Structure 1
Amino acid sequence: MEFDRNTRPTALVIGAGLGGIAASARLARAGYQVAVLEKNARPGGRCGQLARDGHRFDIGPTLFLMPEIFAETYAALGERMQDHLDLRRIDPTYRIHFDDGLQLSLTSDLNAMQEQLEAVEPGSFAGLLRYLAEGYDHYHLSLRRFVGRNFYNLLDYFSLQNLPLLFRLKALVRHYDHIGRYFNDPHLKAAFTFQNMYLGLSPYDAPATYSLLQYTELAGGVWFPMGGLYRVVQSLESIARAHGVRFRYNTPVKRIEVDGGGKRAFARASGVLLADGSRLAADVIVANADLPYVYRELLPDPAEARRLERKKYTCSAIMFYWGVDRVYPQLGTHNVFLSGDYRQSFERIFADHSLPERPSFYVHAPARVDPLAAPPGQDTLFVLVPAGHLDDLAPQEWKGLRQQARAAVLSSLADIGVTDLQEHLKFEYNYTPPDWLRVYNLAKGAAFGLSHDFWQVGYLRPHNRHRRYRNLFFVGSSTHPGGGLPMALISARLTTERILEERASGQRPLARQPAAQDRSSREAALGSLRS
């Protein structure tokens, strides 16, 4: 595969995850010749799909949130989202099951929410309304001022205009501590903080900014695209092909090739070396692979790889994909089972890098909304059990932990009347942290990638352009703005904007270096934030 080097600019995208596909399509629409190189047989990355005997599973994400961000991507590519996705709103969004038998159905029906919450804690419905109002503020402010834009230097991020907003967003307040302003009952505190696990975070460590997650669910809605989340991947890949993007699967990249030696002004990425020994050259390289893997294996850059190794990572997950030969009406589309010892369960995951004795977990039954997800009269069940990531200093025995997780899930399901699942199980696929590392090159097998605490978001997160090789860019969950499908699409937009801006300017400028006085101001600002 060779580009026509005498006409349009060229770009190679490493990885066909959602961010890589969206970036490739945006670049192609802007006039680039684009090729996407993917080591696996199909697109999607963690947003992949399994299918067997009429059962269909999304491998990773199962929640379609923030539809306006998806709609913007389709519109930017000259398409209408509704022409490609048949979206169904899921309401109630979840059934939450607590260890003591209490159940809550989170719903956008405020009358139903009032009845449920007041039965648990009198006066709590007013707290919910205030909490959602705060979530509205956090969501729109974050998107407008922090998530949806590029930052080119530290003072751009910690500007005089932005510093007050960081406090308004409760960026330095822990979410679980903050939830006490709205609810006293531990059931309600858990019900409105467990969503931090979407980002692989503990609510005891996550910034209170993430109250925006609950707002997006109850106000913007939880949706399901018919055909599963993989339908998003398929449609965007089809659109990218229509714009001329070429996809090569089963094509692992061995190395990103660079030239320029020690001359900083001329250092650039010239192309890639494939595992089969062939080489491809391009004007721009965009890496959609997990960023620690890029620095450790593809460049390689040992110093930067070590720096990334020292960063905080999210938890991982033990996953089960079960095809069963009967339907379990006790389960809705989305089901959450929360551990009785909420705090201890997170300590086991994030401090011990292990599995709680009685873990919390999530069950997705897509056939409740999409009958084609399972054969008639049967069920397709997706189970996610949060667990610690790989720990080289204290290696875990994942076979035993997987068995422990399976037994805990079956026990909790039996508590709600699902007592015979083992007898009706047709087949099982499962993933553990070593699988996330092996299949998707995720550092530490952390299923959600780099963590999203205050010191690893915005400009403090790995940047979407290499500091030295100015035509090497990054897209996806490892870089700004972070993890999750909507953020991957925003990442694709931001990275593409940066590529096009720098090409239009005819140069690849260095980020403005702050003067000594500016650096003092920056250090003072950081010091005040840490205190």
Structure 2
Amino acid sequence: MSKEVVVIGSGLAGMSCATYLAKKNYRVRVLEKNSTYGGRLQSFSQDGFTFDAGPSWYWMPDLFDSYFNDFGKKTADFYKLTRLDPGYRIYFNENEYLDVSENLDTLKKKFDKIESGSGESLQNYLDDAGEKYRVAVEKFIYKPSLSALEFMELDLLKRLGRLNLFKPISKHIREYFKDPRLIKLLEFPSLLLGAKPSNTPALYSIMNYADLSLGTWYPNGGIRAIATGLYQNALDHNVEFLFNHPVSKIETKNDIVDHILVHDKKINCDIVVGGADYHHIENHLMDEKNRNYNDNYWDKRTMSPSSLLFYLGINKELDIPHHALFFDTDFDKHAEEIYDKPQWPKNPLFYVSCTSKTDINVAPKGSEAVFILVPVAPGLNDNENSREIIFQQIVNRLENALGTNIKDSIVFKRSYAHKEFISEFNSYKGNAYGLANTLFQTAIFKPRIKNKKLTNMYYCGQLTVPGPGMPPSLVSGKIVAKQIIKEHA
């Protein structure tokens, strides 16, 4: 008789895990507190505009391909991809920017114009990053990280030194480049990893390889199309989804989970996978005696930033590409306001996504659908006044950079920050990306995928291995499914 698995949460990790288990003939039900699937990969439409509400960067297409290939499918069976060129634009000040070309030879020439010889340095840097990427994918990211012994493979040990685990990426980049503009460009993915470059291991130069070598892509239909692809794949494997089913308690008997409570209704199960926020599952759904980690543990974690988001419908066209980074202010000061002295930033860096440059269906003709993201510290006092102060400042900077009035052309506006991350996703401190990828929050130092006290309780998602982001979430689901299959065949 098939074992019954309950997965809490229908984000990418939860759907990934559910489908891998269903493929092996487990009976899988996914309990989702919200009214639809996808976790943070939501979208919404208003006044003729359509916005992806959460993630917006499509990197590491090989990992998406690997996921769908595991089910005898191709990514193209679910959605089509367009490679963006430029991948993005980075503004160094109001009057200077660099379009990051998808053609590496073209980009190397642009680097040389900024810093003599840096084109060759870029090639050498990416060659090194590419080797790390291959080691990470082949030997590192698919491990459950329950024991350091998992990493005691001879081939991995031979290549471990090249991973630069103990060197900060800030130092690593400066060994290749001197110009602060190029350094900014190469340090920017560390913001996506949720840590200061000085605290991020140089291993994560793999993100530069993902960016500059593997390319920046856009799924036709928007990022939401990814969630829809996973949802359809899950349905094809007979995964059952129960929406509007918030779990209120994980009930145990001896050393196992016995059943789940939803609206005081008992749902029996043999195995439970927590695909929702790890902290929420343990601190709000489980008895203290059964938790892997106490409040003191979580208080000492370095969380990734939260995000202040603005969704704007603008009734004019803007001279801006699909992705644009505004690094025209002090990177270090902004990082200090996120990590060292948490506060609303006074002069923040920000990111703009203008999907209407690629997808004509997301805005009326002659208009733009614009998404703005400002990294901010988690756990702040989120209020409308603080949001609006930052909004006015960044729109002024955007107007100056583009040389056009924007405020008078805004016909739709919505904001989103800590309050919404908490209410919609039970996100710890309103964080956006999970734990920061510092050395001592990598691999075996991350929260475990398996409960230490309950033999049938597991966890997947961005707060456990391998880490934050869409591709790692797919991998997380696979890791946990393989562990369950190994232990509960």
Matching of residue 134 in structure 1 with residue 120 in structure 2: no
The Cα shift of 1:163 comes to 5.4
Residue in structure 1 matched with residue 349 of structure 2 by the alignment: 360
Q: Which amino acid aligns with 1:280?
A: I
For 1:41-82, what per-residue CA distance to the aligned partner results, in whole angstroms no more than 9, with x for missing partners?
111111111221221111111111111111121122232211
The Cα shift of 1:282 comes to 0.8
The Cα shift of 1:242 comes to 2.0
- Partners of 1:201 and 1:47 lie apart in 2 by 22
Residue in structure 2 matched with residue 38 of structure 1 by the alignment: 32
Residue in structure 2 matched with residue 314 of structure 1 by the alignment: 304
The Cα shift of 1:108 comes to 2.6
Which one of 316, 335, 348 corresponds to residue 346 of structure 1?
335
Which one of 483, 486, 502 corresponds to residue 487 of structure 2?
502
Residue in structure 2 matched with residue 389 of structure 1 by the alignment: 378
Matching of residue 405 in structure 1 with residue 393 in structure 2: no
Q: Which amino acid aligns with 1:441?
A: N
Residue in structure 2 matched with residue 414 of structure 1 by the alignment: 399
Secondary structure class of the residue paired with 1:92: coil
Alignment of 1:28-177 (within 5 A): 28-99=22-93, 101-157=95-151, 162=156, 165-177=159-171
The Cα shift of 1:419 comes to 3.0
Residue in structure 2 matched with residue 327 of structure 1 by the alignment: 317
Secondary structure class of the residue paired with 1:192: helix
The Cα shift of 1:420 comes to 2.0
Matching of residue 474 in structure 1 with residue 459 in structure 2: yes
For 1:262-305, what per-residue CA distance to the aligned partner results, in whole angstroms no more than 9, with x for missing partners?
xxxxx11112111x210101111111011111111011337623
The Cα shift of 1:406 comes to 0.6
- Partners of 2:114 and 2:3 lie apart in 1 by 61
- Partners of 1:308 and 1:230 lie apart in 2 by 31
- Partners of 2:385 and 2:154 lie apart in 1 by 52
- Partners of 1:149 and 1:366 lie apart in 2 by 35
Secondary structure class of the residue paired with 2:13: helix
Which one of 324, 342, 361 corresponds to residue 372 of structure 1?
361
Secondary structure class of the residue paired with 1:220: coil
Q: Which amino acid aligns with 2:278?
A: L
Whether the aligned pair in 1 keeps the contact of 2:143 and 2:150 (CA below 8 Å) is: no
Secondary structure class of the residue paired with 2:67: helix
The Cα shift of 1:179 comes to 0.9
Query: After TM superposition, what 4+ stretches of structure 1 lie above 6 angstroms from structure 2?
Result: 158-161
Q: Which amino acid aligns with 1:322?
A: L
- Partners of 2:486 and 2:382 lie apart in 1 by 49
Secondary structure class of the residue paired with 2:189: helix
Whether the aligned pair in 1 keeps the contact of 2:122 and 2:176 (CA below 8 Å) is: yes
TM-score when normalising by structure 2: 0.96
CA pair 368-397 structure 1, distance change in 2 beyond 3 A: closer
The Cα shift of 1:398 comes to 3.4
Which one of 271, 275, 284 corresponds to residue 297 of structure 1?
284
Whether the aligned pair in 2 keeps the contact of 1:355 and 1:386 (CA below 8 Å) is: no
Corresponding pairs, count: 486
Q: Which amino acid aligns with 2:394?
A: V
Identity of aligned residues (%): 28
Residue in structure 1 matched with residue 441 of structure 2 by the alignment: 456
Q: Which amino acid aligns with 1:300?
A: D
- Partners of 1:206 and 1:404 lie apart in 2 by 30
- The root-mean-square deviation of aligned C-alpha atoms, in Å, is 1.7
Q: Which amino acid aligns with 2:277?
A: D
- Partners of 2:451 and 2:403 lie apart in 1 by 51
CA pair 207-43 structure 1, distance change in 2 beyond 3 A: same
- Partners of 2:21 and 2:59 lie apart in 1 by 25
Residue in structure 2 matched with residue 524 of structure 1 by the alignment: none
CA pair 291-110 structure 1, distance change in 2 beyond 3 A: same
Secondary structure class of the residue paired with 2:235: helix
The Cα shift of 1:325 comes to 1.6
For 1:485-514, what per-residue CA distance to the aligned partner results, in whole angstroms no more than 9, with x for missing partners?
00000011111111111123xxxxxxxxxx
Residue in structure 2 matched with residue 270 of structure 1 by the alignment: 258
Structure number with bigger Rg: 1
For 1:122-156, what per-residue CA distance to the aligned partner results, in whole angstroms no more than 9, with x for missing partners?
11111111111111011111122221222332333
- Partners of 1:158 and 1:310 lie apart in 2 by 29
CA pair 112-198 structure 1, distance change in 2 beyond 3 A: same
Residue in structure 2 matched with residue 492 of structure 1 by the alignment: 477
Secondary structure class of the residue paired with 1:204: helix
Q: Which amino acid aligns with 2:194?
A: G
Matching of residue 252 in structure 1 with residue 272 in structure 2: no
Which one of 326, 346, 350 corresponds to residue 337 of structure 1?
326
Secondary structure class of the residue paired with 1:386: strand
The Cα shift of 1:167 comes to 3.4
Unaligned runs of 5+ in 2: none
Whether the aligned pair in 2 keeps the contact of 1:339 and 1:358 (CA below 8 Å) is: no
Matching of residue 446 in structure 1 with residue 446 in structure 2: no
The Cα shift of 1:210 comes to 1.2
Which one of 150, 161, 182 corresponds to residue 176 of structure 2?
182
- Partners of 1:22 and 1:57 lie apart in 2 by 24
The Cα shift of 1:475 comes to 1.1
Unaligned runs of 5+ in 1: 1-6, 261-266, 505-531
The Cα shift of 1:399 comes to 2.7
Whether the aligned pair in 2 keeps the contact of 1:100 and 1:340 (CA below 8 Å) is: no
Q: Which amino acid aligns with 1:295?
A: E
Secondary structure class of the residue paired with 1:478: coil
The Cα shift of 1:88 comes to 0.4
- Partners of 1:29 and 1:372 lie apart in 2 by 35
The Cα shift of 1:345 comes to 1.7
For 1:87-136, what per-residue CA distance to the aligned partner results, in whole angstroms no more than 9, with x for missing partners?
00011111110125221111232342233222211111111111111110
Alignment of 1:14-29 (within 5 A): 14-29=8-23
TM-score when normalising by structure 1: 0.88
Tell which deviates more after alignment, 51-60 or 8-17: 51-60
Whether the aligned pair in 2 keeps the contact of 1:11 and 1:282 (CA below 8 Å) is: yes
- Partners of 1:299 and 1:25 lie apart in 2 by 25
Whether the aligned pair in 2 keeps the contact of 1:359 and 1:408 (CA below 8 Å) is: no
- Partners of 1:29 and 1:203 lie apart in 2 by 40
Residue in structure 1 matched with residue 223 of structure 2 by the alignment: 229
Q: Which amino acid aligns with 1:309?
A: D
